[in-house]
Chain A
Amino acid sequence: METQNSRREFIKKMTAASIAASTTTISISSFLSSCTPEVQKRAATADTVILLWMAGGMAHTETFDPKAYVPYEKGVESKRILSTFPKIPTVVDGLEFSQGLEGIGSVMDKGAIIRSYKSADLGHILHTRHQYHWHTCYEPPQSVQAPHIGAWIAKELGPVNPVIPPFISIGQRFTMGEAEELKAFHSAGFLGTEYGPFLIPDPSSGLDSVRPPKGMSLKRFESRYKLYKELVNKSEIMEKGSNYQRESLMRSMEQSYRLLNSPEAKVFDLSQEPKDVYDTYNTGRFGLGCLLAKRLAMNGGRFISVSTEYEPFLGWDTHENGHIRAKKMKALIDRPVSQLIKDLDETGHLDKTLIILASEFSRDAIMEGRPGELVKNQVDQPDIIEDEKYYGMHRHFTDGSSILMWGGGVEKGLVYGKTADERPCSSIEKPVVIDQVHQSVYHALGIDAQTHYEIEGRPFYTTPDGKGKPILDLFGKPMQTT
C-alpha cells in the first residue's frame, strides 16, 4: 500500500510544503510579490466568511424548499398543510422557492443550495442548544468550553486587516429569553477571550465600538495615551527586568490604541453609504447588518455573522400566526441578502467571500422533532384549523432544512440533496450533518481538518475527533468514494 501510494503522497506532501512555504514567508512577501498569491489560491478558496443566521428555526417548506401549497380556509385540516405560500421560479432552471423570496431566487445562479441538512436529535427541543451545536459543532453541555466557529477561524487565520477584529457578531442582544444559553456559544471557549466575538448588537451604532469613547475628541484621546505612556516609563515597576505579564498588558494597550485611532474605523460607519444603497438594505436591523457585513467583507473582515436575532417566539421562532410571521421574515431578509450577494459579486469580493445562510432546524405544522424520534410538543395545534392564527409551521422539525451558500469557491447554481415532497418532509438524498458544514467552511478557508488543541489532556478538534468531511461537491469537485 505504502509504496503504491507513495508518489501521490509525495505530490500531496509537496503541495502541503509549498503551502507552508507561502504562509510562513509573509514578512518577505514584497520580495516574492509575483509568486505568493498564486500559491495561496490553491490552498484556500475563501478569505472571509459571512454567516447569515436565521435564528429561531426557519421552515424549509416556507422558504427555500417549498412543497404543495394549501391556501388558508376555515376548517382546513392541519395535516394537509405543507406550505402556506405558492411556489415561485428562480433564476436556476427547475429550482423553485417560496413566494416572497424573489430577490434571493434571482441570485441563485451565483451560489448553491443544500436541501438536506439534518439537525442533531437532542431530545426535547431547546433552540439555543441546537444553535450551540450549529455554531460550535459540539452538542452542549461539554466538559470544556467549545469555541464558536468564528473563534476557531479567528484563532487559525487571524484578522485579514489587522485593525478589523477577526470575529464580529452582528445583531444578537442578550437581554431576553435564553440569554445565558446564547452567551454560552457566543464565545471563544478554551481558545481564550482574545478570539471571542466582537459584539455589535445594533449595526447602526457599530462605529461606537471602534473609535475613541463617546464625547472624546481624537486630540484628547491621543494626549491621554501619551500621558499614560509617560507615566509608565517613569514608574519604578519598569526598572525590574522584562516580565511577560507586564509586557502583554502594555502590548494590548498599544494595539487597542492603534485600532481605535485607525482611519479604518469608518468601515463600521453606515452613514458613509449613499442613501439609496442604505435604503435598499434597510429592512430593519438585519438588513443594516447585511450592509455592515458588506462593508466589512470588502475591507478585511474575517468572520462576520449577522443574525435575524433569536428571541423566544419571535423572528423565525413562529409558534402561532406562522404564515403571517414567515411573510414578515421573508420581507426582512429577501432584499438585503440578495443585494449583498449582488454588491459583493459586482466588486469581485464574492470570489473570496463565503456566504452561508442557515438556521438551527426547520419547522413543521404538526411534527415536533423528527420521524421515529418525536419529542414533547411545545404548542397546541388543532387537527382542524378554525382560526388563521393556527395556519403556519408552529412546531420544530429537525429532519430536513435548507442551507444556502454563495462565493468563496462554491459551485454556482448547484442544488445538493433533497427532502421528501410529502410529510414527513425529511432529507431523503445526500443528508448533511453539521460536521460536514463546518468542515466545508474550513476546507474553503484552507484550515487543516486536523486542527486541534490539547485542553485538559483532551485533543479538541475543529470538528469532533477531527472527523468532519467537507462536501466536496460544493466546490465543484467530484465526491470521493473512499
Chain B
Amino acid sequence: MENTNWILQFFGRLHPLLVHFPIGLLVVALVLELLTLGGKRKGLREGINWMVYIGAGVAACAALFGWFLKTQDEYSGDLVDNHQYTGIATAVLAILTAIILSRTLKKAPLNLKAYRFMLVTTVVLLSIAGHLGANLTHGEDYLTEILPGNEKGYSNLESSALLTELKGASELSELQKDKLNLEVRGLFAHKCYQCHSENKQKGGLVLEHKEGVFKGGTSGLAVVPGQPEESEIYKRIILPANDKKVMPTKGKLLTPDEIALIKLWIEDGAHWSDKAVKVFPEAPLALTQPALPTVTEETHPVDKIVSVYFKDKKVDWNAVVDDRKFIKRAYMDVVGLLPKPTAVNAFIASTNPKKRELLIDELLNDSENYTQNWLSFWNDLLRNDYSGTGFITRGRFQITTWLYNTLKQNKSYDQVVSELMNPSKASEGFIKGIQWRGVVNSSQRTEMQAAQNIGQSLMGVNVKCASCHNSFISNLTLDQAYGFASIFAEKPLELNRCDKPIGKIAKVNFLYPELGSVEGETLKERLLKLSEVMTSKENGRLYRTITNRIWERLIGRGIIEPVDEMDNTPWNAELLDWLASDFIDSGTDLKHLIKRIMTSKAYQLPTVSYKTAEAIKQDYVFKGPVLRRLSAEQFSDAISQVIAPVYVAVAYNPNEEKMPAQRIWHHQKDLTNTVLPLPGKRYFRKTFQLKKENIQDASILISVDDAYKLFINGKPVGTGDNWTDVGKYNVANLLTKGTNCIAVEGDNKGKIGNPASILFAMKVAFKDDSVFNLYSDETWLSTDVAPKANWADLDFEAKRWKKVKNYRTSNWAKLLDFTFKDHQKTFARASLVKQHPFLKALGRPNREIVTTTREEQATLLQALELTNGGFFNGILKQGAKKWLNTYGNDSRLIVDTLYQELLGRAPSKEEQNIVMASLGEQPSTAQVQDVFWSVLMSPEFQFIN
C-alpha cells in the first residue's frame, strides 16, 4: 500500500458516487425510449438523446475511476473482477449505443432497432454491474442474508470486542488464551475452511485441527509460535490485495482487527485450547425455566409472557376471534373435522364463560378422532407410511399400529421417545430406516439414517451434513455423526468421508455427550441408555423441539423457524422455555401442551395476513396466528363429511375384522409371467358342500373391481359396478344341503390392462350355532372365453377353466364396510388411507424422508386435480345425487345447508341470490355439483381463518 498515489486514490474513491449518474440517466433513457415505441411521443427524442450521450460519457469516467479504485485500494477476488468486466463492458456498450444513436439520427432511421437493442443490452449489463458493485460495497450476502434461514453465523463485532479486551491486558489469563484461540479458529472456519479443510486441502494445508495448523502446507509452516513474521499464515494475510499470494483468495480480505487477532495469537505462543471450537451459535441444552411475568391483566401464563413481549414490540392485543371462527379452528386443530351446524349453534348460544376450554377438553377426549387427525403429523415426522420404498425386500417396517395406539392412549412424550429409541418390534421401524436392495452410500446406511432422523425429528438438529463430512452449517463433525450412528450398529463403524473410508473407527457417543454415556456392550444396552439420555430432563432440547412443533401446528409459525433448526433464535425464548417446562411438569402430556396453547388468547387472536411467504420468516414479530390452509387430509375429510365419502377403504383399520378372503382374478399371463388383467369379461365359479340343513342365516359380502353379476346355484343375486360399494346379500333361501355353486361374471373396464379383482366372503350360520365360511381364494376357477348360457348353474361342467390368481391387496385398500359386524356406513379418514394421487396433489408427502413442513403454496398441478380430476369430480357428482335425494329440488334449502355445513355460517343475501340463480328452480345433478365445487374452491373453505 506504500505505492499508492493519493490523486488516483481520490478519484478512485469518487467511483461509488459517479456510478449513480449513468444508472439514472441510462435507465430513464430506456424508459422514455419505450414510451416512444410505435412512433409515439416524438417530443421525447431530443431529451433521450442527451441522456444517452451524457450517460455514456459519465459511464466511461466511472469505469476509469473504478479501475483506479481497484488498483489503489485493497480490492481483489472474482467479485471485483466480475464487477470490473461488466462495468467496462457497460461503458463500452454505452458509448457504442451513443455512436449508433448519433449515426441513426444523421441517416435514415434504419438503425433504430440496433440502437434500441444496444440500449437494452447496456441497461441490462449496467444492472448486473451495479448489482455486483453493490455486493462489493454491502457484502455479497447483503440481499440474501435477510432471506429465511440465512441468519448470520459469525460477526466481526465479537472479534473487535475481544481484541479490545485482550489489548488492555498485560498478560493473558488461561481463559483469555482459550478465548483468543477459539476466536482465531472461528476465523479460520469462516475465512479459510472453504479451501483448507479435510474436505479440500489446498496447498496441503488443513486448518481444521491442531495437527494440520502446526504441520503447515507445501509453502512452509503456517504458524511459528511467537513469530508472526515467520508464519506463512500471517505473511499471506497482510499482503496487498493485488498480490497473487494474498489470502484469502476468495471473498473479502481480513479486516485489520482480524489480522491483529491472528498476530496476537501467534505472538502469544499460538496456544491451542482443548475446548472444541463452536463456530456456529448453539442453543443451550437445558431449559431456562423462566419465571412468569407478574402481569396482572392476563391470567393465562402464555398471555402473560406474550403481554410483556407485545409491550416491548409495541403491539396491541386484538380482540379474540368470535365463537364461529373459534369452533372451526378448535375442531380442525384437535380432531381435523368440521363442526356440525348444530354444534356450532349450540356453542354460540352457550353462555358458559368457560365454554371454549370445555370445548377443547371435549374434543381432546374424543380419542378416536384426535388420533386420526394427529396421526398425519406423526406419520410425516416419523417417516411412517403404509406404502413406500423399501417394503419390497423387507427393508422397511411400519410403526402404524404402535403409533395409533400411542396416540389413542395419549402416552407421555417421554414414553413415546423411549419406545422409539429402545423399540419393541412394533416401533422399531423408525430407527431401522429404509434399506433399498443393494449397496448404499455410507452416509445413508440405516444406522446413519437413524442418527439423521432422530436428529431432525426429535432434536431439531441437522445430522445429514455431518454424516458425509464435517458440517458447514453447524458445529457437528463427522466424528460426532458416526459416534451417534454407532449406537445403532451391531459392529463398530468405520468413518467415511464423502463415501470414502478414512481408516478411523467411530467411538460410540451421543450428539451431546454432556447428557451422559451411551456406551454399552450390546446394541440393546446402548439403546436403553440412549432412551434414558434422550429423555433426561437436562435434554431441554427434546422438549423445546416438540413444543415448537406443536406451536407451529396450531399457530402456523414456530417460535423458532425453521422448525428443524433449533439452534436458531426464537422470537421469544421465555415463551418457548416456559411452555417446554410446563410440558415437562405435566408429565410430558401432549394433550396438555395442545390445550395449554389453545386456551391462550394468543391462539385465539385473529389471523395475520402476510404479503409474501418470506415475510413470515424474516423479521418476524408475533401478532397472532397465520392463515393456514386445510391439509390434504382435512380437505378430504371435510368433503367426506358434507358431500360424499372420498374414501371408504383404508390401509390401516384399527377395528379390522380379519378375514382370509383374497383379491382374485383370472390369471393373465404374458408367456410365463403374470401381468395386469386385460379389459373384458371373465367368469368365475366356486362349488362347495354344505353338510347341514338348518340354516339360520347366510350372508355374502362382495366387492369387485370393476363390475359384477353374482349368481348362486344359477339364480341371480345382485350386481354392482363400484368396488368401493360392498355388496351385502342375504342368501339363506338360495342355499341347500349338499353341493352349491357361487358364480360371478366379472368385468374389467378400461382400454388397457389394469387392476381387477373379486373379494368375496360368505358366512353361513346354522341353527346349531355352527358356522360355515367361504372366501375368495385360489381354489376358484375362471375362464376368459364366453361360456354357454348355463355357465352359472350347479350342474355346468367347467371344463378347461383354470385356477384363478391371487392379485394381492396392494391396489385396493381395506373396505371399512367389508365386515359382517353391525356397523354404520361411514367414510374412511384420509390419514388411514394409503398415499393416493388426490392426496398427493393436495400436498400429502411421500414419506420417503422425514417431512416436517408441507408445501404451503397452491400449485398448478393441485389446481388441475381439483378442476378436472376425474376422481374428485366423481365424488362431487355422487354427492350431488345424494343431496338431491335428501333435499329434493329445494334450491334455497340446498344453499343454506351447504353454507352451514361447509362454512359454518348462513349465506349472505347476495350469496344466496347468486347460488340460487345458478341452481334454478329445478336443480340438476350437474348444477348442484358445480355449486359444491364453487364453494369448496373458495378460500373461505380452504383456509383455517
- Point out residues on A near B: beta carbons under 8 Å: 1-2, 6, 9-10, 13-14, 17-18, 20-21, 24-25, 28, 31-32, 34-35, 121-126, 129, 139-145, 165, 173, 175-181, 183-184, 187, 192-194, 196, 198, 201-202, 204-205, 208-214, 216, 220, 223-224, 227-228, 230-232, 234-238, 240-246, 248-253, 255-257, 259-260, 285, 311, 313-314, 320-321, 324-325, 375, 389, 454, 456-458
Residue among A20, A194, A249, A314 making CB contact with B670, cutoff 8 Å = A314
Contacts of A21 in B (CB 8 A): 120-121, 124-125
Q: Say yes or no: A228 contacts B934, CB within 8 Å.
A: yes
Q: Say yes or no: A34 contacts B113, CB within 8 Å.
A: yes
11 of the cross-chain contacts (CB-CB < 8 Å) are: A9-B81, A17-B89, A17-B124, A139-B441, A141-B389, A165-B860, A183-B846, A236-B940, A244-B857, A457-B149, A457-B465
Q: Say yes or no: B752 contacts A260, CB within 8 Å.
A: no
Q: Say yes or no: B437 contacts A129, CB within 8 Å.
A: yes
Chain B residues 854 to 893 lying within 8 A of chain A, measured CB to CB, are: 855-864, 866-870, 873
- How far is it, in angstroms, between the C-alpha of A235 and the C-alpha of B848 when the chains are bound? 39
Residue among A25, A201, A250, A257 making CB contact with B939, cutoff 8 Å = A250
Tell me whether B37 is interfacial, beta carbon within 8 Å: yes
Q: Say yes or no: A126 contacts B438, CB within 8 Å.
A: yes
Residue among B117, B149, B934, B942 making CB contact with A224, cutoff 8 Å = B934
- Point out residues on B near A: beta carbons under 8 Å: 34, 37, 81-82, 85-86, 89, 113-114, 116-117, 120-121, 124-125, 128, 149, 244, 387-389, 391-393, 434, 436-441, 443-444, 449, 452, 462, 464-465, 467, 471-474, 564, 609-613, 615, 627, 629, 670-673, 675-676, 751-752, 754-755, 810-811, 840-841, 843, 846, 848-849, 855-864, 866-870, 873, 908, 910-911, 914-915, 918, 926, 930-931, 933-935, 937-940, 942-943, 945
Q: Which residue of A lies closest to B88 (CB)?
A: A10
- How far is it, in angstroms, between the C-alpha of A325 and the C-alpha of B671 when the chains are bound? 9
Contacts of B85 in A (CB 8 A): 9-10, 13-14
Given A143-B452, A249-B629: A211 in contact with B868 (beta carbons within 8 A) = yes
- How far is it, in angstroms, between the C-alpha of A121 and the C-alpha of B859 when the chains are bound? 37
B174 → chain A closest CB, angstroms: 34
Contacts of B864 in A (CB 8 A): 209, 256, 259-260
Q: Say yes or no: A235 contacts B464, CB within 8 Å.
A: no
- How far is it, in angstroms, between the C-alpha of A14 and the C-alpha of B387 when the chains are bound? 51
Contacts of A375 in B (CB 8 A): 438
Q: Which of B387, B389, B393, B915 has the most CB of A within 10 A?
A: B389
Q: Say yes or no: B867 contacts A121, CB within 8 Å.
A: no
Q: Say yes or no: A253 contacts B849, CB within 8 Å.
A: no
- How far is it, in angstroms, between the C-alpha of A285 and the C-alpha of B462 when the chains are bound? 45
Contacts of A237 in B (CB 8 A): 938-940, 943, 945
- How far is it, in angstroms, between the C-alpha of A220 and the C-alpha of B918 when the chains are bound? 11
Contacts of B926 in A (CB 8 A): 216, 220
Q: Which of B387, B441, B443, B848 has the most CB of A within 10 A?
A: B848
Closest 6 CB pairs of A and B: A123-B439, A123-B438, A256-B863, A457-B473, A252-B863, A228-B934
Q: Say yes or no: B857 contacts A256, CB within 8 Å.
A: no
Q: A245-B856, A256-B866 are in contact. List 4 more A-B contacts (CB 8 A).
A: A14-B89, A34-B113, A223-B930, A253-B858
A233 → chain B closest CB, angstroms: 10
B231 → chain A closest CB, angstroms: 25
- How far is it, in angstroms, between the C-alpha of A149 and the C-alpha of B207 when the chains are bound? 37
Given A35-B113, A196-B861, A223-B930: A234 in contact with B908 (beta carbons within 8 A) = yes
Q: Say yes or no: A176 contacts B751, CB within 8 Å.
A: no
Residue among A124, A178, A194, A324 making CB contact with B859, cutoff 8 Å = A194
- How far is it, in angstroms, between the C-alpha of A235 and the C-alpha of B936 when the chains are bound? 13
Q: Say yes or no: A248 contacts B465, CB within 8 Å.
A: no
Q: Which residue of B lies closest to A130 (CB)?
A: B438
Q: Say yes or no: B464 contacts A456, CB within 8 Å.
A: yes
Contacts of B914 in A (CB 8 A): 227, 230-231, 234
Q: Say yes or no: B934 contacts A231, CB within 8 Å.
A: yes
Contacts of B443 in A (CB 8 A): 143
Q: Say yes or no: A256 contacts B437, CB within 8 Å.
A: no
Q: Which residue of B lies closest to A212 (CB)?
A: B868
Given A28-B34, A214-B870: A122 in contact with B611 (beta carbons within 8 A) = no
Q: Say yes or no: A18 contacts B121, CB within 8 Å.
A: yes
Q: Which residue of B lies closest to A187 (CB)?
A: B846
Residue among A187, A204, A208 making CB contact with B870, cutoff 8 Å = A208
Contacts of B452 in A (CB 8 A): 143
Q: Say yes or no: B117 contacts A32, CB within 8 Å.
A: yes
Residue among B612, B859, B869, B937 making CB contact with A192, cutoff 8 Å = B859
Contacts of A211 in B (CB 8 A): 868
Residue among A178, A210, A232, A324 making CB contact with B938, cutoff 8 Å = A232
B748 → chain A closest CB, angstroms: 12
A32 → chain B closest CB, angstroms: 5
- How far is it, in angstroms, between the C-alpha of A184 and the C-alpha of B392 when the chains are bound? 13
Q: Say yes or no: A145 contacts B849, CB within 8 Å.
A: yes
- How far is it, in angstroms, between the C-alpha of A79 and the C-alpha of B751 when the chains are bound? 42
Residue among B124, B841, B910 making CB contact with A234, cutoff 8 Å = B910
A82 → chain B closest CB, angstroms: 23
Q: Which residue of B lies closest to A227 (CB)?
A: B934
Contacts of A17 in B (CB 8 A): 86, 89, 124-125, 128
Contacts of B873 in A (CB 8 A): 213-214, 216
Q: Say yes or no: A260 contacts B670, CB within 8 Å.
A: no
Q: Which of A32, A180, A204, A230 has the most CB of B within 10 A?
A: A180
Q: Which residue of A lies closest to B616 (CB)?
A: A244
Q: Which residue of B lies closest to A14 (CB)?
A: B89
- How far is it, in angstroms, between the C-alpha of A244 and the C-alpha of B937 when the chains are bound? 16
Contacts of B434 in A (CB 8 A): 141
B632 → chain A closest CB, angstroms: 11
Q: Say yes or no: B440 contacts A175, CB within 8 Å.
A: no
B723 → chain A closest CB, angstroms: 14
- How far is it, in angstroms, between the C-alpha of A231 and the C-alpha of B472 when the chains are bound? 51
- How far is it, in angstroms, between the C-alpha of A224 and the C-alpha of B859 when the chains are bound? 20
Q: Say yes or no: A235 contacts B938, CB within 8 Å.
A: yes
- How far is it, in angstroms, between the C-alpha of A457 and the C-alpha of B150 when the chains are bound? 10
Contacts of B869 in A (CB 8 A): 213
Contacts of B86 in A (CB 8 A): 13, 17
Q: Which residue of B lies closest to A229 (CB)?
A: B934
Residue among B438, B671, B866, B910 making CB contact with A321, cutoff 8 Å = B671
- How far is it, in angstroms, between the C-alpha of A261 and the C-alpha of B860 when the chains are bound? 14
Residue among B120, B918, B945 making CB contact with A32, cutoff 8 Å = B120
Contacts of B473 in A (CB 8 A): 457
- How far is it, in angstroms, between the C-alpha of A419 and the C-alpha of B731 when the chains are bound? 68
- How far is it, in angstroms, between the C-alpha of A268 and the C-alpha of B828 when the chains are bound? 35
Q: Which of A2, A123, A124, A253 has the most CB of B within 10 A?
A: A253
- How far is it, in angstroms, between the C-alpha of A1 and the C-alpha of B908 when the chains are bound? 75
Q: Which residue of A lies closest to B672 (CB)?
A: A320
Q: Which of B613, B864, B870 has the most CB of A within 10 A?
A: B864
A128 → chain B closest CB, angstroms: 8
B811 → chain A closest CB, angstroms: 6
Contacts of B82 in A (CB 8 A): 13
Q: Say yes or no: A202 contacts B751, CB within 8 Å.
A: yes
Q: Say yes or no: B846 contacts A24, CB within 8 Å.
A: no
- How far is it, in angstroms, between the C-alpha of A227 and the C-alpha of B928 when the chains are bound? 12
Q: Which residue of B lies closest to A199 (CB)?
A: B837
Q: Which of B120, B860, B866 has the most CB of A within 10 A?
A: B860
Contacts of A176 in B (CB 8 A): 675-676
B192 → chain A closest CB, angstroms: 19
Contacts of B867 in A (CB 8 A): 213, 253, 256-257, 260
- How far is it, in angstroms, between the C-alpha of A324 and the C-alpha of B149 when the chains are bound? 57
Contacts of A129 in B (CB 8 A): 436-438
Q: Which residue of A lies closest to B125 (CB)?
A: A17
Q: Say yes or no: A143 contacts B939, CB within 8 Å.
A: no
Q: Which residue of B lies closest to A190 (CB)?
A: B849
- How far is it, in angstroms, between the C-alpha of A21 and the C-alpha of B117 when the chains are bound? 10
